[in-house]
Amino acid sequence: NYKIYDKEMLANLMYFRKPQNLNCRQACWVTDLQDYKFIIKHQPGKANTKPDLLSQHAG
């Protein structure tokens, strides 16, 4: 069973793996990121010993 946050992230990844009609903002992100080679990899919270400020959940 996944937490809501994990389900939302998985849904986003699955959506963007398929060809899409992108809006202007998304097209800009694609253009900016296409020059980089990267892999998106999930790291469980217990293994993520040094998370940055942006990865913290409010609340």
Q: Is residue 47 in some structural domain?
A: no
Q: Is residue 58 in some structural domain?
A: no
Reported as a single tens digit per residue, the pLDDT across 1-26 is 566 667 788 888 888 788 778 889 98
- The domain tally of the chain equals 1
Q: What burial letters (b/e) apply to 16-55, b meaning 16+ CB within 10 Å?
A: eeeeeeeeeeeeeeeeeeeeeeeeeeeeeeeeeeeeeeee
Q: Is residue 50 in some structural domain?
A: no
Reported as a single tens digit per residue, the pLDDT across 22-57 is 889 988 988 898 899 988 777 777 776 776 666 666
Taking CA atoms, 16 is separated from 5, 8, 10, 11, 59, in Å, by: 17, 12, 10, 9, 28
Q: Is residue 52 in some structural domain?
A: no
Determine the structural domain holding residue 2 and report its residue range.
1-41
Cβ proximity of 2 and 10 under 8 Å? yes
**What token pair was written down for 46?**
């217990």
Q: Is residue 56 in some structural domain?
A: no
